[in-house]
Amino acid sequence: MEEPQVRSSSLEGGVELIELSGELDTLSAGELRSRIASVIESGRHRLLVDASEATFLDSASIGALVGGATRLKPVGGALALVCANADILASLQIAALDQVMVIRSSRDEALEELRRLAATPHEDGAHVP
Amino acid sequence: MCRSAPTDRRTHEWAIPARLDNLSHVRWLVDQASADCDFNASDRYALRLAVHEALANAIEWGAPDGSGNVRLRLEVDAEGVVVEVTDYGGFRVGSTPASLHDRGRGFAFIYEVMDEVDVDEAPGHTTVRFRRRPHGHLRALERRSGARIGKRGRRRTPARG
């Protein structure tokens, strides 16, 4: 068993980072949901969730990610997820997460995509803060 | 958590106190129990995920027995693993639209990663039963590639309250 960890920090360029490691399940989903809400409520709308070290994501954890992406979209924000674990990626496809957020296998690729989205005017004309 | 003696060499039954903080240990137990089966890493992940989702649903939305437990039974045979999760309430996936959405997602995982899924309701208890065969396919990936998805066994919609 690998204990779940949810850590948050700020990166250059106004990107907020949440790193996930271990087995994320119903109990840790609340912490993930809270960290995402904190980022959004602070007015920072470019969020990178790095799940490279995560070994298990259940439906509650995936629901927290969907909730974050859903809240960010109307304010012109974006959530990018880093994940290279084939089993977790398959779960994300089942939940159709690839339709509501950017998923990349490396942090560099995800960051590049976030920056590209930030440079693209939102449909209402706003740029990602 | 009490474990009964296996009823045969490859059958395992657990009475699990209905608390979500037991789930990580149960996932580990299930992984160990499936070691006898010819499962690859993806089979094992799928099994752990499905058992987790079924138990989380039983704990959050079902009801424990008089001792505060829900039941988990694993039968490991040449054709894979058959799992039964039993709680002692009606079959519910949540009472609000938001929770319905979340619980629906949990059951969607079970349906997608297991080869057979069945839900039996009887007076006083609900049993979710599913089977995973070795080297099973993830339905989502089949769907992406346009392959036809077959489903053996009965499949019932969990959205009943």
Give the DSSP H/E element, type plus range, for residue B57: helix B41-61
Instruction: Say which residue the tokens 């077959």 belong to.
Output: B150
CA distance A77 to A69: 8
Is residue B4 situated within a structural domain? Answer: no
Please tell me the predicted confidence (pLDDT) of residue B151: 34
Any chain B CB within 8 A of the CB of A94? Answer: yes
Note the pLDDT tens digit of each residue in A26-63: 999 999 999 999 999 999 999 999 999 999 999 999 99
For residue B133, being part of any structural domain is answered with yes
Query: How far apart (Å, rounded) are the C-alpha atoms in residues B140 and B127?
Result: 25
Which among B79, B25, B69, B77 has a CA at the least distance from the CA of B51? B25
Q: Are B132 and B153 in contact (CB under 8 A)?
A: no
| Contact at CB, A87 and B106, closer than 8 angstroms | no
**Residues B27, A59: C-beta atoms closer than 8 Å:** no
In a domain, B152, yes or no: yes
B74 falls within a domain: yes
Give the C-alpha separation, B36 to B78, whole Å.
9
Residues B105, A93: C-beta atoms closer than 8 Å: no
Q: What is the CATH number of the domain that holds B132?
A: 3.30.565.10
Supply the DSSP string of B104-155, one letter for each residue: HHHHHHHHHH-SEEEEEEETTEEEEEEEE-TTPPPHHHHHHTTPPPP-BS--
Structural domain includes residue B2? no
Q: Given an 8 Å threshold on Cβ–Cβ distance, is A59 in contact with B25?
A: no
* Per-residue model confidence as pLDDT tens digits over A68-118: 999 998 988 999 999 999 999 999 988 888 889 999 999 999 999 998 887
Give tens-digit pLDDT for B94-130. Answer: 444 444 445 567 888 898 899 999 999 888 889 999 9
| DSSP assigned state of B8 | B
**Cβ distance B48 to B80 under 8 Å?**
no
The pLDDT, as a whole number, for residue B160 is 36
The boundaries of the domain holding residue B70 are: 10-94+103-156
Task: Tell me what pLDDT residue A94 has.
Answer: 85
Question: How many domains, chain B?
Answer: 1
Q: What pLDDT score does A121 carry?
A: 59
- B1 falls within a domain: no
A62 in contact with B at a CB cutoff of 8 Å? yes
Report d(CA B9, CA B76) in Å as an integer. 9
Q: Output the pLDDT for position A55.
A: 97
CB pairs under 8 A between A and B: 68
Shortest CA gap A44–chain B (Å): 25
Residue B86 in any domain: the answer is: yes
- Residue B23 in contact with residue A56, Cβ under 8 Å? no
Stated pTM of the model? 0.83
Average pLDDT over residues B125-140: 79
Q: Does B17 reside within a domain?
A: yes
Q: In what order do the strands lie in the sheet with A5-11?
A: A5-11, A15-24, A46-57, A78-82, A102-104
- What is the Cα gyration radius of chain A? 14
Which residue in chain B is spatially nearest to A57 when comparing CA positions? B49
Vertex B19: Cα angle to B12 and B3 (nearest 5): 20
Q: State which residue of chain B sits closest to A65, comparing Cα positions.
A: B102
Q: What is the mean pLDDT of residues B14-29?
A: 95
Q: Stretch A3-11: mean pLDDT, rounded?
A: 93
| Distance separating alpha carbons of residues B78 and A124, to the nearest angstrom | 57
